[in-house]
Amino acid sequence: MLRRLLYLLPVAIFAVIAGYFLWGLSPERDPGNVPTAMIDKPTPDFDLAAVPGLAVPGLATADLAGGEVVMVNFFASWCVPCRAEHAYLTAFSEESGVPLYGINHRDKPEDAAAWLAELGNPYQRIGADPGRAAVEWGVTGVPETFVIDGAGRIRWHHRGPLVPQVIERDLKPLIAALQP
Amino acid sequence: MMRLLCAAFLLLAAVLPVAAVEPDEMLDDPVLEQRARDLSDEIRCVVCQNESIDSSNAEIAGEIRLLVRERLVAGDSDQQVLDYLVARYGDFVLLRPPMKPTTYLLWFGPFLVLLIGVVSVLVYFRHLRRAPAMPPALSAEEEARLARLLDAEAGEGGDAKQP
């Protein structure tokens, strides 16, 4: 009996290896996806000046612990996916009433101002980030979006553009759960 | 000869990884700068495929190189700098995976496979040794049966010759 089971061993090993290959080839898996370590942590210490030429104030840690759920979005005028997500981000912020704060990453102030003048400005505050704030937040590129709860803790971190699928699948249920 | 040496050196230089550190990033203190370089070699550029920040030209790699130097100048230990980055990017940012329960399989897996191989080979050879090279001698019962069969055959042959 034991010997019979031993004959099945190569089949079992093959099944395990095939399982890994299947996982590796899965179209759902994105090997470029960097895991986030920021969930449930307080927002990092930062204080960013306003973008010159824009009517909205800058952004600092203190602005994120006001007792309400807010979204923080890293964006730049040179970033094409930011342009793609802009309309969805604007619509979601207006629809849900969740304040949207922006961090303008490695951008020229005049470019950022022109970009927002063209597409509309959904951000209530925008901090100008020469580069360091992105590292403080564990950001790898733009666009990336965070949801901060009323206590100033990071509850959600999304890398890449906020497309409708992600908003429907992840963002809406989370906001509904966080808002009283 | 000299020319050959030069060519060999150039060939060697070509395969060495090229550092991406900009001159204006470097620290004046050579000891700290060396620590920063060694540390940068252990830190993954988060937007590259398996490249350290020391050899990556990505903007974020440059930003993290500067941050590493700032923290070293501020008096952080090497481990504190790594902890700071791990708190933000997770273990992904380390090119050398840390030893902890979730990575035991990664670290010890090859030895486990080796162990399975060694045990399999040992079992195989023990089995070979136990299995005799010659079939065992016939038992008394079998000898008797063989004799009967041979007798019967001889009897048949004899019958054929004498009708």
pLDDT in tens, B112-162: 999 999 999 999 998 888 776 677 788 889 899 999 999 988 877 655 444
**Do B114 and B39 fall within a single domain?**
no
Interchain contact, B92 vs A134, CB within 8 Å: no
Confidence of residue A66 (pLDDT cuts 50, 70, 90): confident
Residue with token string 């090993």: A13
**Do B41 and B66 fall within a single domain?**
yes
Amino acid B12: pLDDT: 65
**Do B121 and B94 fall within a single domain?**
no
A residues 87-146 near B, CB within 8 Å? 106, 131-132, 134-138, 140-141
Which of A33, A45, A129, A135 to mutate to probe the B interface, most B CBs <10 Å? A135
* Domain-ending residue, one of B98, B128, B143: B98
CA distance A94 to chain B (A): 30
What are the pLDDT digits (tens) for A84-121?
Answer: 999 999 999 999 999 999 999 999 999 999 999 999 99
- State whether CATH 1.10.3720.10 applies to domain A33-178: no
**Do B75 and B134 fall within a single domain?**
no
**Do B155 and B110 fall within a single domain?**
yes
What are the pLDDT digits (tens) for B72-91?
Answer: 999 999 999 999 999 999 99
CATH number of the domain that residue B32 is part of: 1.10.8.640
**Is the pTM of the predicted complex or chain greater than 0.90?**
no
CA distance A77 to chain B (A): 16
Q: Residue B48 belongs to what domain range? A: 2-98
**Do B128 and B151 fall within a single domain?**
yes
In SS3 terms, chain B reads as CHHHHHHHHHHHHHHCCCCCCCHHHCCCCHHHHHHHHHHHCCEECCCCCCCECCCCCCHHHHHHHHHHHHHHHCCCCHHHHHHHHHHHHCHHHECCCCCCHHHHHHHHHHHHHHHHHHHHHHHHHHHHHHCCCCCCCCCHHHHHHHHHHHHHHHHHHHHHHCC
Q: What is the mean pLDDT of chain A?
A: 92
Confidence of residue A24 (pLDDT cuts 50, 70, 90): confident
**Do B20 and B56 fall within a single domain?**
yes
CA distance A123 to chain B (A): 24
Domain ranges of chain A: 33-178
Which of A20, A34, A105 to mutate to probe the B interface, most B CBs <10 Å? A34
CA dist., res. B85 & res. B91, Å (int): 9
Q: At what angle do helices B30-40 and B78-89 cross, to 10 degrees?
A: 40
Q: Which residue of A has its CA nearest to B49?
A: A32
Number of domains within chain B? 2
Amino acid A26: pLDDT: 86
| Phi, psi values for residue A33, rounded to 5° | -75, 115
**Do B77 and B106 fall within a single domain?**
no
Interchain contact, B88 vs A37, CB within 8 Å: yes
Amino acid B156: pLDDT: 72
Q: Number of A:B CB contacts under 8 A?
A: 40
Mean pLDDT across A43-68:
93
Strand order in the sheet with A144-148: A125-129, A100-105, A70-75, A144-148, A154-159
Interchain contact, B59 vs A106, CB within 8 Å: yes
Measured between beta carbons, the chain A residues lying within 8 angstroms of B64 are 135
**Do B66 and B115 fall within a single domain?**
no
Amino acid B163: pLDDT: 44
Are B44 and B50 spatial neighbours (Cβ–Cβ below 8 Å)?
yes
**Do B75 and B145 fall within a single domain?**
no
pLDDT > 90? residue A130: yes
CA distance B131 to chain A (A): 16
